[in-house]
Amino acid sequence: MSIFKILWAPWRKEYITKKEKDCFICKKLEDDPQNDRENLILLRGKNTFCMLNLYPYNNGHLLIGPKRHIGDINSLNDEEIIEIWRVASKMIDIIKKEMNADGFNLGFNLGKVAGAGLEEHLHLHLVPRWSGDTNFLPVLSGTKVISEDLKSVYDRLRRYLE
């Protein structure tokens, strides 16, 4: 017997319907590194970046991707591929240590129909998960509980990268 469940996420509507003309990732990466906290950029690697998602599914939801403005996963070079996965691995270790995550979802949304809000700049989503982190609130009231503000999460994670 198969049970099909629908996960409603109406709090994401603002993100989905928001129309930005410029690439928000490039815009933040072009800004002065002194503004990284304001821009939620945790790490600027040689070829990649890591930043907190402004519209997180969970506390500590990160975006990791190439600095280059590319949207096709097949356009990544070997250095970028290796660095993306090294950064992801490092951030998983940090989040396990600092936030006691029980697991993680990792994935690329390739194409609008796959959920990509920004198709033009490839990025990996790293979403920490905790046992029992889903509940009835999103389904019944359209409410998602994010228990910590972004700047606080930024400060907690950033200290491991200094």
Predicted confidence (pLDDT) per residue in 13-68, tens digit: 665 566 657 899 999 999 999 999 999 999 999 999 999 999 888 899 999 999 99
* Better-predicted residue by pLDDT, 17 or 74: 74
Does the domain formed by 22-161 have CATH 3.30.428.10?
Answer: yes
Q: Cα-flanking dihedrals φ and ψ of residue 152, to 5°?
A: -65, -45
**CA–CA separation, 83 vs 95, rounded Å?**
18
Q: Reply yes or no on whether the pLDDT at 106 is more than 70.
A: yes
Over the chain, what is the mean pLDDT? Answer: 85
**CA–CA separation, 117 vs 113, rounded Å?**
10
Least confident span in 59-68, 76-85, 140-149:
140-149
> How much is the pTM?
0.81
**What is the pLDDT, as a whole number, of residue 84?**
98
**What is the pLDDT, as a whole number, of residue 147?**
66
**CA–CA separation, 25 vs 41, rounded Å?**
10
* Better-predicted residue by pLDDT, 11 or 63: 63
| 123 has catalytic annotation | yes
Cβ-proximal residues to 49 (8 Å cutoff; 6+ apart), any chain: 25, 29, 41, 43, 63, 64, 65, 66, 67
C-alpha closest to that of 99 among 59, 147, 55, 56: 59
**What is the pLDDT, as a whole number, of residue 8?**
55
**What is the pLDDT, as a whole number, of residue 115?**
79
**What is the pLDDT, as a whole number, of residue 16?**
56
**CA–CA separation, 25 vs 56, rounded Å?**
15
Least confident span in 56-65, 90-99, 139-148, 151-160:
139-148
Using pLDDT thresholds of 50, 70 and 90, give the confidence band for residue 137. very low
Spot the catalytic one: 61, 121, 123, 125: 123
Q: Reply yes or no on whether the pLDDT at 121 is more than 60.
A: yes
